[in-house]
Structure 1
Amino acid sequence: MRAFLAKLHHWTGITAGLVLFVLALSGSILVFDDEIDGALNPHLFAVEEGAPSDLDAGLAVLRESLPDFQLAFIRLPRTPEHPVEFWSSDEPHLIAYVDAGAGKLLGMRGEKDGLVGFLKDLHIHLLMGESGHTANGIVGILVLFLLISGAVLAWRKGRFARLFKPRLRGVPLAASAFDLHRFTGTVGWALLFISALTGVMLVFYRVTAYALLLTLGGTPPSQPPAIERVEGAPSLSLEEIKDIAAREMPEAVPTWIRLPADEKSPVVVRYRHEEDPHPNGTTYGAFHPQTGKLVSSYAWEGKGTGMWLSDLKYPIHIGDFWGPAGAAIVLATGLVPIVLMGSGAYLFFRRRGFFRK
């Protein structure tokens, strides 16, 4: 049984290894996505200091410069140094970067354009759209199997301490590679398990969220109710919507605004509370686009244990959950599969005579 498990572990590692290497490398680089994007595209983030952001002025600039732009979402500035991002309804989305204080269009690009866009598409979709996204989840399941089977293979009674003492000198290269493989797998096991598990949850989010809700309880967000338009009444401006949203939930910060897709849809504002680990927040308010009346809301504090755990998958996966140490943790997690795949591939092919003279 142990020999069969070892073979299955080896072949699974070879099958998933290349994709895992790509995911680990791209994920480690994306820890610094904002810094890389700002360095490579400074013109998109050249916001003038002093002038307060005005969403209506920004929208006017967008309409004048890009009259055919089909606006769907607005990402509000994360800091005073960030522009307003206007996202189109097209997929992949077009993003217009606007200095809403100075009334200036800074530039436009597709969400998959540029180095950071390419790396995100590679990491999330393997450059293959939804089929690549699903393949990503399957690879994550294979990684979970590798971790569990590797732990079973490494565990031997009375030899646990040896896992933490790799022989890297004075022994044949194969012995060093074997010890390095076991040591890295042991030390980085929890990090890689958490990363793979949250990655699988992000891909198969409906199934995993349903399972958590079924077992632990909770309330998922629902679609806001349809509204009735007030005949002859104008729509509120973006600034009016933002001000109403801020007054409705003063303890939270609005992060995104979703505009109505049709005459029956409200404006949806996404919020982030300071205690919410999700970088975009998981609180929502739906407002009537003409009266500003709050027609429905969903608060992160009352969503229940199952939904709370489900929503943790993203901040844990990208490192935000861990606070200042998050970037270092994600980098360390990315290094683990690179070492495991390198040492595992060497041992696999060496046993098959690839490195013999």
Structure 2
Amino acid sequence: MRIRRSAMAIVSWLHRWLGIVSGMAVLIICITGCILVFEQEINQLLYPWLRVEQQAANDQLPPSEIKARVEQQLPGTEVHSLWYYGLDKSVKISTENNAVVYASPYTAEVLSTVEHEDLFHWIEQGHLYLWFPPAAGRQVVGWSTFVFFVLLITGLVLWYPKRWTKKTVESSFTIRWKARLKRLNYDLHNVLGFYALIIALVMTITGLVMSFPWMRQTVFWMAGGTRVAPPAEVAIPPVAHMATQLDMAQAVDAVWLKVRKEIARHNREAVIVHFPHDEQEPIYACTDMYGGSWRDLLFDQTTLQLLPDSQRPIGEEHISRWLMRANYGLHVGEIGGLTTKVIYFLASLVCASLPITGFYIWWGKRKKRKRKPGKMAIKQSFRTYLKT
């Protein structure tokens, strides 16, 4: 019994002080993550140039045609890549000067040029780096996430009732909305924290996978993988001739068509395609952008054959590699569409509230401890007075 009490005291101490130290960072990470869950949906409402009137798939212009027309409309612009989002959305175009151009996939008419960082970019910087320089901010966010993981585990230990009685079950699983502020705050911290625990653990572990290579290796190994292969250098087979710029443009168009018609399995009209910098570079394309995952493809410019470093369909991957590729979707809630996004939004909101409710619990206990000596002194003085 004494050992159990000592262990619980250590757990309580860790939970309290780790929470105080990391509270502000956790609050910012969770609030920004909560907002970013619906970034795409909010952007669609705010920016009309992201949407176009839907037409038939065959009415879309190929990449080379859009590239030529956009560069004609914007002299001095060099198009590097195109992102087809779908039949009812504009094409996102990346250029050499890092400006982003949005154009119609059917006419290549430039709808907007975005050269400034929008609100969501600023929020994302807070989520990823806490607005510190990236090198330092990445470490602060990563270790704050690790501390939050420890807080979730210690919180579960503290939440777990000593005895399962009707009273403890009621206090552990229900919120007394009509109780006094202190009790209500305690329930909001204790009960809501329990209900959000599973999603919070998923968000935390996937965040750690993105923050630390050692965590990525650990999860990969625990899932049965032997190693996480580093980004491989693409082995380019010898070409029979040097492709001209016209050949390169035609090859990119052919890859775009091949991906949509033959390779894509999900969301076929959402394709990213890059224009190679030279004749030796493979053509990059991205497809199967669904549920927060995607499939990277590399094509030989001459033969248009898939190179060995291309990814397989995610459904054919071993569980270890599936977890690595699905990690982003699991982290942001896109894995199950709108339903999981709503669940993640609510869980993130609860996680953001935990540092606040936890601090209020600690502050209340601190004030109570300060008041106790005063009360005892008054009682002692009163007893001394009665004795005299």
Q: Which runs of 5+ in 2 are unaligned?
A: 1-5, 372-388
Q: How does 1:99-110 map to 2 (within 5 A)?
A: 99-110=104-115
Query: Counterpart of 1:181 in structure 2: which amino acid?
Result: H
Q: Which runs of 5+ in 1 are unaligned?
A: none
Q: How does 1:269-348 map to 2 (within 5 A)?
A: 269-272=285-288, 278-282=291-295, 284-296=296-308, 297-299=310-312, 300-348=314-362
| Alignment-derived partner of residue 147 in structure 1 | 152
| Alignment-derived partner of residue 98 in structure 1 | 103
| Alignment-derived partner of residue 80 in structure 1 | 87
Post-superposition offset of 1:306: 1.0
CA distance 1:48–1:157, shift in 2 (3 Å):
closer
Post-superposition offset of 1:179: 2.8
Question: Per-residue displacement from partner, 1:241-275 (whole Å, max 9, x unpaired)?
Answer: 211333552545362223334443201212218xx
Query: More helix by proportion, 1 or 2?
Result: 2
**What is the rounded CA distance, in whole Å, between the counterparts of 2:148 and 2:78 in structure 1?**
40
Post-superposition offset of 1:69: 4.0
CA distance 1:354–1:83, shift in 2 (3 Å):
farther
Q: How does 1:110-121 map to 2 (within 5 A)?
A: 110=115, 113-121=117-125
Check the 8 A contact 2:282/2:300 in 1, yes or no. yes
**What is the rounded CA distance, in whole Å, between the counterparts of 1:250 and 1:38 in structure 2?**
25
Post-superposition offset of 1:169: 3.0
Query: Counterpart of 2:198 in structure 1: which amino acid?
Result: A
SS of 2:294's partner is coil
**What is the rounded CA distance, in whole Å, between the counterparts of 2:69 and 2:278 in structure 1?**
23
Q: How does 1:1-357 map to 2 (within 5 A)?
A: 1=6, 2-42=8-48, 44-50=49-55, 52-54=59-61, 55-69=63-77, 71-77=79-85, 79-88=86-95, 93-110=98-115, 113-128=117-132, 129-159=134-164, 160-161=168-169, 162-171=171-180, 173-204=181-212, 206-215=213-222, 216-217=224-225, 220=229, 222-229=232-239, 230-231=241-242, 233=244, 234-237=247-250, 238-249=252-263, 251=265, 253=268, 255-272=271-288, 278-282=291-295, 284-296=296-308, 297-299=310-312, 300-353=314-367
Post-superposition offset of 1:71: 4.1
SS of 1:295's partner is coil
CA distance 1:46–1:176, shift in 2 (3 Å):
closer
**What is the rounded CA distance, in whole Å, between the counterparts of 1:82 and 1:62 in structure 2?**
17
**What is the rounded CA distance, in whole Å, between the counterparts of 2:351 and 2:95 in structure 1?**
37
Identity across matched positions, percent: 21
Query: Counterpart of 2:118 in structure 1: which amino acid?
Result: G
Post-superposition offset of 1:314: 1.0
**What is the rounded CA distance, in whole Å, between the counterparts of 1:45 and 1:197 in structure 2?**
33
Query: Counterpart of 1:169 in structure 2: which amino acid?
Result: K
CA distance 1:236–1:47, shift in 2 (3 Å):
same
Check the 8 A contact 1:47/1:99 in 2, yes or no. yes
SS of 1:294's partner is coil
Aligned residue pairs total: 346
SS of 1:281's partner is strand
Query: For the aligned residues, what is the CA RMSD?
Result: 2.9
TM-score normalized by the length of structure 1: 0.85
**What is the rounded CA distance, in whole Å, between the counterparts of 1:99 and 1:65 in structure 2?**
13
Post-superposition offset of 1:141: 0.6
Radius of gyration: which is bigger? 2
Post-superposition offset of 1:333: 0.8
**What is the rounded CA distance, in whole Å, between the counterparts of 1:59 and 1:14 in structure 2?**
53
CA distance 1:170–1:40, shift in 2 (3 Å):
closer
Range moving further from structure 2, 324-333 or 116-125:
116-125
